[in-house]
Amino acid sequence: RPIDGVTADTAMPGTVADLMEPVTGLLPEHATVHDAIEFLRASRDAQQITYLYTVDRDERLSGLVVIRDLLLSRPDQALSEIMLPAPFSLSPDLDASEAIKAAVHRHYPVYPVVDAQGRMCGVIRGWRLFEQQAIEITAQSGQMVGVDKEERIDTTLWTAFRMRHPWLQVNLLTAFAAGFIVSLFEGTISQIVALAAFLPILAGQSGNTGCQALAITLRGITLGDLAKFPVRKLIGKELMLGAMNGCFTGVIAAAAMWWTAAHEHNPQAPMLALVIWLAMIGGCTLSGLFGVMVPLTLRRFGADPVTASSIFLTTGTDIAGMGLMLTLATVLVL
Amino acid sequence: RPIDGVTADTAMPGTVADLMEPVTGLLPEHATVHDAIEFLRASRDAQQITYLYTVDRDERLSGLVVIRDLLLSRPDQALSEIMLPAPFSLSPDLDASEAIKAAVHRHYPVYPVVDAQGRMCGVIRGWRLFEQQAIEITAQSGQMVGVDKEERIDTTLWTAFRMRHPWLQVNLLTAFAAGFIVSLFEGTISQIVALAAFLPILAGQSGNTGCQALAITLRGITLGDLAKFPVRKLIGKELMLGAMNGCFTGVIAAAAMWWTAAHEHNPQAPMLALVIWLAMIGGCTLSGLFGVMVPLTLRRFGADPVTASSIFLTTGTDIAGMGLMLTLATVLVL
């Protein structure tokens, strides 16, 4: 479902100034309701005016006038009597992300933009902030695997390469950790080669189980649900979910191992099936834990909980899934 | 960054009716501007009224009156003279997602809700639709790995299990495909056990490279960018990015293989390093292709391009990465 109306120029602005429109309805606060109505009548931009704004003697923003209140007031009243004084405003050099955070929950149709001297330099429409927020959230699934939030479909090859490649090198480094664990068990694998085929199965299952927990945790952080939901309860739930999912997918994987091993006339087939079942339960349970802990740990250390979270997660799930399988095989079968 | 103001009752509504507020300013179209101003003056809900709406003789919604236009008109004018006739409206039983699609790009502060008889039954604030859209987009990274878009952090254990488990069984089925490919090369692995440690490295690298392409493609679909950007160009770019990323991470992986094999006094060390390098280039290039093709293929078959896309992708990347490595090892080294 495309977000209609997203145009190239609204995509990924740096600051409030980039999203700003010119001020249209600015009046001195001592002007009367009659003056304001005459101003609106004469204005070519009347269609664009949602609120009028007032300035004090030093030309600083002092209030906001709702058009409805003009209608319900006497023509001789001063705007200072009917205005909302000291309205909420945004600074032009504020980061767009920060502006969203500060403004979006107020649900105003328009926000005034005010410089350091208190002078109004523009307005931002509320929908622009909402649209910007939606654009930022669409970046999350990419950020999880090391795509920069600036990257869009039309980003040039070279820029995309420069932004993605470092995280792929990080991913390689973490994959070496998983590879190193496997290499420790070369003796086991050379004796039970069937285990090699189950390496990607264990890694794939624990990885996907962990990614489910990671996604739901990140969603909770983004939507602010985690502030209301105790982390301990979330960890408990994901551990249990991991165990249950590992148990029921593990039964199928264990059956596949039994069948494979029996097919190769391996007398240890039942024991190998048990190894797979236990490794699936253990690997998926740990993956549930990692899925919650990776973003929370990143956040605790002041990092973005989304960026590269999937890369860090799969290191853990690879080691948990494959490491457990090979350890159990070494201990129980050899 | 939490989306403030998201409350439990606004989360995941089914229809427009769930997001609706009561109608506050409804007047007959033959009423005058003077009548409307008196109505506003007497109304307790004046603060909530953004627009007034007019009804015809059959009580059907016929127009929308902007408060500013009341101010600029003569008191004796009929509302029918100043209203915007036949305003855009939403149906109460419309799916919330469809309503977002239909309304969000109009950027109105409020939308009227009109039943099948043409009677107005409520209003929806524009920010509620934007908020709903943001909530839906936060579900995407979960949907990619088989988490239902309804699932939030406080979803019960049993409901989460029931919704996630089927996709983990699908993932297992696809992992068996990768495992089967590996099992075809048991002979190769038993002769060069060092290859086993590189299975998770190849799978991890091609998987993450593919997920980067997948995420950027899904972002393009969500933001509507793909409508303006030719698919062929995107495929070309992701193939090239995959090749470049595979080439430069592959060099490091190949060096690691050389070192490992030389350490084990394997005379084939340089050839094994070449195998890893070529497999990384080939695997990552194919992964770039899969990342674009998986969501586009899902969409072409009428399925949601997001749901389980990562599960389908990793099947392809596992087979490409590990399959290529084992094939090359068999052909070039044995």
Cα separation, A298 vs A38, whole angstroms: 57
Identify the closest residue of chain A to B72 by CA–CA distance: A41
Among residues A210, A92, A6, the alpha carbon closest in space to that of B107 is found at A6
DSSP conformation class of A72: T
In the predicted structure, residue A277 carries a pLDDT above the cut 90:
yes
- Residue A247 — very low, low, confident or very high, per pLDDT cuts 50/70/90? very high
pLDDT, residue B11, reads: 41
Please answer yes or no on whether A196 and B199 come within 8 Å at the CB atom.
yes
**Mean pLDDT across chain A, nearest whole number?**
92
Other CB atoms within 10 A of residue B302 CB: 6
CA distance A64 to chain B (A): 14
Query: Dihedral angle at the C-alpha atoms of A164, A168, A170, A172, nearest 10 degrees?
Result: -170
Interface test with A, best of B6, B105, B211 (most A CBs within 10 A): B211
Task: Give B334's pLDDT tier (boundaries 50, 70, 90).
Answer: confident
Contact A5 B171 (CB under 8 A): no
A78 min Cα distance to partner chain B (Å) = 17
Distance from CA of A259 to the nearest CA of B (A): 13
Verify whether the Cβ–Cβ distance A141 to B197 is below 8 Å.
Answer: no
CB contact under 8 A, B49 and A67: no
User: pLDDT grade, residue B332 (50/70/90)?
Assistant: very high
Mean of the pLDDT values across residues B94-118? 90
Closest approach of chain A CAs to the CA of B228, in angstroms? 9
CA distance B53 to chain A (A): 15
DSSP secondary structure code for residue A162 in this structure: H
* Cβ contact B145–A212 (<8 Å): yes
Q: What percent of chain A has pLDDT over 70?
A: 96
pLDDT at B124: 94
* Three-state SS at B113: strand
Structure tokens at A330: 């070494």
B2–A221: do the CB atoms touch at under 8 Å? yes
Mean per-residue pLDDT, A272-298: 98
The pLDDT value given to residue B104:
78
Q: Domain residue spans in chain A?
A: 8-137, 158-332
State which H helix or E strand residue B41 sits in.
Answer: helix B33-42
pLDDT value at residue A14: 80
Length of chain B, please? 334
d(Cα B165, Cα B168) in Å, to the nearest integer? 5
Which among A41, A151, A222 is the nearest to B138, CB-wise? A222
Q: Which chain B residues contact residue A248 at CB under 8 A?
A: 165, 169
Q: What distances in angstroms separate CA B179 from CA A110, A174, A201, A239, B330, one per listed residue?
A: 57, 22, 6, 26, 17
Residues of B in contact with A175 (CB under 8 A): 200-201, 204-205
What's the pLDDT at B142?
A: 96
- Does residue A298 have a pLDDT over 90? yes
CB contact under 8 A, B137 and A139: no
Is the CB of B168 less than 8 angstroms away from the CB of A138? no
The CATH number, out of the four listed (3.10.580.10, 3.40.50.510, 3.30.465.10, 3.40.50.1110), of the domain defined by the range B8-138: 3.10.580.10
Residue B78's φ and ψ, nearest 5 degrees, are -80, 150
Interval B204-245: pLDDT, tens: 999 999 999 999 999 999 998 998 999 999 999 999 999 999
In this predicted model, what pLDDT tens digit does every residue of B179-200 receive, in sequence order? 999 999 999 999 999 999 999 9
| CATH code, residues B158-333 | 1.10.357.20
Which residues from B are below 8 Å from A164, CB to CB?
Answer: 212, 241, 245
Top residue of B137, B247, B260 to mutate, by most chain A CBs within 10 Å, is B137
**Average pLDDT, stretch B255-280?**
95
More confident residue, A47 or A147: A147
Q: What is the pLDDT of residue B6?
A: 44
Least confident range of A280-294, B11-25, B161-175, B277-291: B11-25
Cβ neighbours of residue A307 closer than 8 Å, sequence gap 6 or more: A143, A144, A146, A298
Q: Are A294 and A213 in contact (CB under 8 A)?
A: no
For an interface test with B, the pick among A174, A201, A233, A280 (most B C-beta atoms closer than 10 Å) comes out as A201
- pLDDT computed for residue A74 by the predictor: 94
Nearest to A220 among B37, B153, B178 (CB): B153
How many A-B residue pairs are in contact by the CB < 8 A criterion? Answer: 358
B86-104: buried (b, 16+ CB within 10 Å) or exposed (e) per residue? ebebbbbebebbebbbbbb
CATH H superfamily, domain A8-137: CBS-domain (3.10.580.10)
Alpha carbon of A151: minimum distance to chain B alpha carbons (Å): 7
Of B107, B154, B179, the CB nearest to A229: B154
| Minimal C-alpha gap between A28 and chain B (Å) | 20
Supply the DSSP string of A117-145, one letter for each residue. Answer: TS-EEEEEEHHHHHHHHHHHHTTHHHHTT
Chain A residue at shortest CA distance from B240: A157
Whether residue A186 and residue B172 make contact (CB cut-off 8 A), yes or no, is no
> What's A313's DSSP letter?
H
The number of beta carbons lying within 10 Å of the beta carbon of residue A76 is 9
Cβ distance A168 to B237 less than 8 Å, yes or no, reads no
DSSP strand pairing (A84-85 vs A61-66) = antiparallel
Candidates A211, A304, A317, partner chain B, best to mutate (most B CBs within 10 A): A211
Distance, C-alpha B64 to centroid of its chain: 34
Do A5 and B126 count as a contact with CB atoms less than 8 A apart?
Answer: no
CA distance A283 to A243: 8
Q: Does the pLDDT of residue A261 top 60, yes or no?
A: yes
Whether residue A3 is predicted with pLDDT greater than 70 in this model: the reply is no
pLDDT of residue B161: 97
pLDDT, position B2: 44
Q: What is the pLDDT at residue B9? A: 40
pLDDT (tens digit per residue) in B5-50: 444 443 456 889 999 999 989 999 999 999 999 999 999 888 888 8
Are A153 and B226 in contact (CB < 8 Å)? yes
pLDDT of residue A12: 53
**Cβ–Cβ contacts within 10 Å for residue B319, how many?**
22
Whether residues A40 and B145 touch (CB distance < 8 A) is answered with: no
The shortest C-alpha distance from B59 to chain A (Å) reads 25
Q: Cα A13 to chain center, whole Å?
A: 18
Q: Which long-range contacts (CB under 8 A, 24 or more apart) does B294-303 make?
A: B294/B214, B295/B214, B295/B217, B295/B218, B295/B221, B296/B217, B296/B231, B299/B221
- Select the residue of A151, A183, A216 nearest B142 (Cβ to Cβ): A216
Q: What pLDDT digit, counting tens, does each position of A27-80 carry? A: 999 999 999 999 999 998 888 888 999 999 999 999 999 999 999 999 999 999
Measured in angstroms, the CA of A161 and the nearest CA of chain B are apart by: 6
Share the mean pLDDT of chain B: 92
Q: In this complex, do A164 and B217 lie within 8 Å of one another by their Cβ atoms? A: no
Domain A158-332 fold is Tetracycline Repressor; domain 2 (1.10.357)
CA–CA distance from A66 to each of A33, A324, B10, B213 (Å)? 11, 66, 27, 48
pLDDT at A196 over 90: yes
pLDDT at B105: 81
pLDDT class of B4 with cuts at 50, 70, 90: very low
* Cross-sheet strand order for the sheet of A51-55: A26-28, A51-55, A61-66, A84-85
N-to-C CA span, chain A = 54
B256/A147 CB distance under 8 A:
no
Closest chain B residue to A242 measured between Cα atoms?
Answer: B161
